Amino acid sequence: MLSDRQLLILKIIVDDFIRSGQPVGSRTLSKKEQITFSSATIRNEMADLEELGFIEKTHISSGRVPSQKGYRYYVDHLLPPVRLTQKDVQTIQSIFHEQIYELEKLIQKSAQILSDLTNYTTVVLGPSVKEHKLKTIQIIPLNAETAVAIIVTDTGYVEKHVVTLPPSIPPSDVEKMVNILNERLTGVPLEDLTDKIQTEVAHVLREHIQSYDHMLRMISSSLDLNAPAQMFLSGKMNMLRQPEFSDIDKLRALFNIIEQEKEFYRLLRKHNQQGIQVKIGTENDVEGMENCSLITATYSVGGEKLGTIAVLGPTRMEYSRVISLLNLVATDLSKALTMWYQKD
Amino acid sequence: MLSDRQLLILKIIVDDFIRSGQPVGSRTLSKKEQITFSSATIRNEMADLEELGFIEKTHISSGRVPSQKGYRYYVDHLLPPVRLTQKDVQTIQSIFHEQIYELEKLIQKSAQILSDLTNYTTVVLGPSVKEHKLKTIQIIPLNAETAVAIIVTDTGYVEKHVVTLPPSIPPSDVEKMVNILNERLTGVPLEDLTDKIQTEVAHVLREHIQSYDHMLRMISSSLDLNAPAQMFLSGKMNMLRQPEFSDIDKLRALFNIIEQEKEFYRLLRKHNQQGIQVKIGTENDVEGMENCSLITATYSVGGEKLGTIAVLGPTRMEYSRVISLLNLVATDLSKALTMWYQKD
DNA sequence: ATTTAGCACTCGCTTTATTAGAGTGCTAAC
DNA sequence: GTTAGCACTCTAATAAAGCGAGTGCTAAAT
């Protein structure tokens, strides 16, 4: 469909615009060494490319800028192979070489390194806690009225919840209840806990302890997980450096979306297949993200998807570099986690 | 030192500038109903006020703007009494009416409401965890190599730490150790834990369990609290609305300070006496905060300071309103916490 | 001795004009 | 099919002009 020469021109336009942020004109192009023909020819080709929707002008006599379709084509067919610098590779691997035992820390560190290296914003969706299996429940009375309920999963995830105790409940009852819960619920995925309690635990509790229904309500409420999966953000402020957000209003609009987290959650959840996914501008289908691209990758353990890691930047993003970096981080993270999970 | 008329003029200048953000000229002033004399008189008085350093011009023929000294005087002597609206008061009290059992949630909610009502940024320094007393330590093995150590304090604060276990340690040893620790350390303030372990627990452990030194190191490391006190931030993005930060570079400088948190920690720690404290511009002694004011208050339980709550805004801040709101939140928070702590 | 009216003057901001530069599209020649 | 040449368009930068808000000073009024 597109001639080789058109592809060449499109590629150079995108590359140059990503680098400089300035519209690219025929004169600039004709000076590139890869180009052997004149600026007039380029102008003709550019007119065609524009008609086909791959590039556009900012005003009637300006140079050309990639359109969303142009970026799309570039990402799909023209990505230059990138060789990451030795330094980048080392920086990334350094996180995974030191032993980190906490899932969250490892994820946070990955996000941070990625946002530092790219100068964009990184978002990570943690493993869905719902699938983690219960290791133990503890209820620790703080005073006569309140206690803190602690849930620990097999992954080392800890969630706490302060609850009220029924007035004048014997301490032995609390202990009894904890024993019953642990006995029956250890190994059960968190998402099934509520069901399991109703079907298998409720009647046992009823027999053994006072204030049965208060306690049951209490334990149910503390098991009712608020966050289905944790989200980690790193390098939000990097967006301040992007010239496309030098306008305070655009910046505010973007930060509103970022801070809400809701949309990101949705976007990251959507990525289900393996591999890298690039969503450009309106492809994200979020108002206010027209000027942004989101590159997502999944990380997994033994082929099973655990979570998603993504880089958010302007549509004028260093796709090639970001994809390589993201790829490396995602695979290294997967490897690290696989090792980690295998210890069980 | 200053005549009544000068005070009146100074006060109106500050009030008007806080409201409008525009330099205030003699003509504008002469139109205010409180003012009965002519603009020429005002000009004379303003010249004097400028000479004394209370106000300044942005350029040779501009209206006047309060200087830092002017704000200082205003805050110390000219603050108009503010009546909070019924609505504001209700909004604030609504948080404290609903029962919240988690210290952190209560604090976070306070911060959020304060930043919402003021449109500035709120920073809260939580109670120093070091002084909390240990309620219990739990060590929950996850697999052969790792376990999660959980510390619970009498305030319901929970800290977790993933640790490595010595290879092939008998599970009974872990249990024994936890028992010993709880027996000897319950009720001890967290800051004394390390000492106490060395002096009172080490030798007992030595007698009873294998891999004594690995276990000791492990438990020490997990007790070594990283954060001396938690810090909560709310409404960072409100700064985007302040016209003084419409310049991207100033914004970035400010966010750098905010995100670092270090400086804030220092600033909030400094506030030790009771009551409200207002630090204007360079009084904060932080590079990049010349255009900001920080209003701090402490909250306490039974007269003993627990933490600090503060509002950060531009020097052109609604001092009167913020002080009232902050005051209300701080006292209500203190009341709520006092009730909470009394339950023990 | 204050206070005020009047006036000349200073800037900053906005508007308008001008120009330089980059880029385009088209045509005609190669 | 390619390219040189040219007229044309639009932006961005610079300059000039005018407006408006504000000042300081002086001299008259109170």
Q: Does A228 touch chain B (CB under 8 A)?
A: no
- What lies within 8 Å, CB to CB, of A286 at 6+ separation is A257, A263, A267
Nucleotides of C under 7 A from a protein CB: 3-6, 9-12, 21-27
Could you tell me if B116 and B138 lie in one domain? Answer: no
What is the model's pLDDT at position B343? 61
> Contact B139/B117 with Cβ under 8 angstroms?
no
φ, ψ (nearest 5 deg) of residue B278: -120, 120
Domain match, A143 and A183 both: yes
Give, in order, the Cα–Cα distances in Å from A327 to each of A92, A297, A333.
11, 7, 10
Same domain, B236 and B312: yes
The mean pLDDT of chain B is: 91
Q: Please report which helix (H) or strand (E) contains residue A289, including its range.
A: none
> Within this chain, do residues A298 and A151 fall inside the same structural domain, yes or no?
no
Nucleotides of D under 7 A from a protein CB: 2-5, 8-11, 20-26
The alpha carbon of B231 is separated from its chain's Cα centroid by a whole number of angstroms, namely 7
In the predicted structure, residue A343 carries a pLDDT above the cut 70 = no
Any long-range contacts for B150-153 (C-beta under 8 Å, 24+ apart)?
B150/A138, B150/A150, B150/A152, B150/A158, B151/B190, B151/B222, B151/B223, B152/A140, B152/A148, B152/A150, B153/B129, B153/B190
Length of chain A: 344
CA angle A317, A323, A325 (to 5 degrees): 110
Q: Which helix (H) or strand (E) holds A24?
A: none
Determine the Cα–Cα distance for residues A12 and A2; give it in Å rounded to an integer. Answer: 15
Of A152, A246, A343, nearest to B140 by CB-CB distance is A152
Q: Does the pLDDT at position B101 exceed 90?
A: no
Q: In what order do the strands lie in the sheet with B292-301?
A: B229-234, B121-128, B304-314, B292-301, B277-280
A176: left (phi over 0), alpha (psi -120 to 50) or beta: alpha
Q: Do A344 and B143 touch (CB under 8 A)?
A: yes
Which of A44-48, A281-285, A321-325, A335-339 is predicted least confidently?
Answer: A335-339
What is the percent of chain A with per-residue pLDDT over 90, rounded to a whole number? Answer: 64
Work out how many domains chain B is built from and give that number.
3
CATH of the domain at B192: 3.30.390.60
Q: Is the pLDDT of residue B344 over 60?
A: no
Say whether A160 and B158 touch across the interface (CB within 8 A): yes
Other beta carbons less than 10 A from residue A302's beta carbon: 10
Residue A273 has pLDDT above 70, yes or no: yes
What dihedral do alpha carbons B306, B312, B315, B317 form, nearest 10°?
-100
Which residue of B lies nearest to A234 if distances are taken between CA atoms? B259
Instruction: Tell whether the model's pLDDT for residue B283 goes beyond 90.
Output: yes
The phi and psi torsions of A295 (rounded to 5 degrees) equal -110, 120
**Burial B267-285, CB ≥16 within 10 A → b, else e:** bbeebeeeebbbbbbebbe
Tell whether the model's pLDDT for residue A85 goes beyond 60.
yes
pTM of the model: 0.91
d(CA B338, CA A161) in angstroms, rounded, equals 21
Instruction: Show the tokens assigned to A25.
Output: 């004109």
DSSP type of residue A189: B
Average pLDDT over residues A277-285: 97
Q: What is the pLDDT of residue B5?
A: 93
Residue A126 CB contacts under 8 Å (≥ 6 apart), including other chains: A103, A104, A107, A229, A230, A231, A232, A307
User: To 10 degrees, the CA torsion angle through A97, A103, A107, A109?
Assistant: -50
Q: Identify whether the C-beta of residue A309 lies closer than 8 Å to the C-beta of residue A329.
A: yes
Does the pLDDT of residue B226 top 80, yes or no?
no
The percentage of chain B sitting over the pLDDT mark of 70, rounded to a whole number, equals 99
Which pLDDT band holds residue B219 (cuts at 50, 70, 90)?
confident
Q: What pLDDT is attached to residue B212?
A: 82
**Chain B residue at shortest CA distance from A154:** B142
Residue B55, classed as helix, strand or coil, is strand
Same domain, yes or no, for B96 and B70? no
Query: Rounded mean pLDDT of A29-44?
Result: 93
Q: What is the pLDDT of residue B253?
A: 92
Task: Give the chain A residue nearest B344 (alpha carbons).
Answer: A143
Are residue A211 and residue A243 in the same domain, yes or no? no
Q: Is the CB of B109 under 7 A from strand D?
A: no
pLDDT band at A291 (very low <50, low <70, confident <90, very high): very high
Contact: A144, B343; criterion CB under 8 Å: yes
pLDDT of residue B155: 87
What confidence category does residue A247 fall into, taking pLDDT thresholds of 50, 70 and 90? confident
Asked whether strand C has any atom less than 7 Å from the CB of A234, the reply is no
Say whether both A48 and A188 belong to one domain: no
Q: Which of A136, A158, A259 sits opposite B160 (nearest CB)?
A: A158
Least confident of A215-229, A307-321, B187-201, B237-251: A215-229
Cβ A309 vs Cβ A333: under 8 Å: yes
> Given this model, what pLDDT does residue B225 score?
67
Examine the pLDDT at A227 and tell me if it is beyond 80: no
- CB contact B178 to A (< 8 Å): no
Sign of the dihedral through C-alpha A32, A35, A38, A44: negative
Q: Considering A201, A221, A241, which residue would you say is the last residue of a domain?
A: A221
Indicate whether B69 and B198 sit together in one domain.
no
Which residues lie below 8 Å from residue B89, measured CB to CB, with a gap of 6+? B328
Domain boundary among B186, B221, B256: B221
**B237:A248 CB<8 A:** no
Angle among Cα A238, B234, A107 to the nearest 5 degrees reads 50
Whether residues B262 and B304 share a domain: the answer is yes
Mean pLDDT of A178-186: 93
Q: Residue B116 is part of a domain; what is its CATH number? A: 3.30.450.40
Buried b (16+ CB within 10 A) or exposed e, B107-123: bbbbbbbbbebbebbbb
Q: Kindly report the CA angle at A92 between A91 and A95, in degrees rounded to 5? A: 95
What nucleotide is nearest A39 when CA is compared to C1'?
Answer: D3
The residue that leads in pLDDT, A70 or B226, is A70
Tokens for B78, please give them: 């000219």
Structure tokens at A338: 């696989």
Q: Which two tokens stand for residue A236?
A: 């939000």
Q: Is the pLDDT of residue B118 over 80?
A: yes
pLDDT band for position B69 (50/70/90)?
very high
HSE, CB side, 13 Å, CA atoms: give it for residue B62.
11
The predicted model gives A294-303 an average pLDDT of 93
Range of the domain at A248: 84-126+229-340
Please, what is the average pLDDT of chain A?
A: 91
Is A215 in the same domain as A283?
A: no
Whether pLDDT at B286 is above 70: yes
Higher pLDDT, A71 or B342: A71
Of B138, B255, B343, the CB nearest to A240: B255
Q: Which of residues 28-87 of B touch A (CB under 8 A)?
A: none
User: What crossing angle do the helices spanning A39-51 and A4-20 adopt, rounded to 10°?
Assistant: 90
Least confident piece of the model among A10-14, A161-165, A329-333, B65-69: A161-165
- Please tell me the predicted confidence (pLDDT) of residue B227: 63
Residues of chain A positioned with their CB less than 8 A from the CB of B152: 140, 148, 150
A334, A340 contact by CB (below 8 A): no
What would the mean pLDDT of B267-272 be, rounded to a whole number? 90
| Nearest residue on chain B to A142, alpha-carbon basis | B154
Going along chain B, which residue ranges are E strands? 55-57, 64-66, 121-128, 134-141, 146-153, 158-164, 229-234, 277-280, 292-301, 304-314
Q: Is B259 helix (H, G, I), strand (E, B) or coil?
A: helix
d(CA A129, CA B182): 30
Question: pLDDT band for position B218 (50/70/90)?
Answer: confident
Residue–nucleotide distance: A60 CA to D8 C1' (Å): 11
**B25 Cβ contacts chain D strand, under 7 Å:** yes
The answer to whether A260 contacts chain B (CB < 8 Å) is: no
Nearest nt to A29, CA vs C1'? Answer: C23
Judge if A252 and A318 occupy the same domain.
yes
Determine the average pLDDT of the residues in A296-324.
94
Could you tell me the two tokens for A6? 């058109």
Single-letter residue type at B26: S
Choose between B164 and A292: higher pLDDT: A292
A240 shares its domain with A290: yes
Which residue is closest to B103 within chain A, CA to CA? A162
The CA distance from A205 to A201, in Å, is 6
Provide the number of CB pairs (under 8 Å) joining chain A to chain B.
Answer: 82
Among A168, A196, A221, identify where a domain stops.
A221
Q: A160-164, A316-320, B19-23, B265-269: lowest mean pLDDT where?
A: A160-164
Q: Is A342 on the interface with B (CB under 8 A)?
A: no
The Cβ of residue B232 has, within 10 Å, a number of other Cβ atoms equal to 18
For position A280, what pLDDT does the model report?
98
CATH of the domain at A8: 1.10.10.10
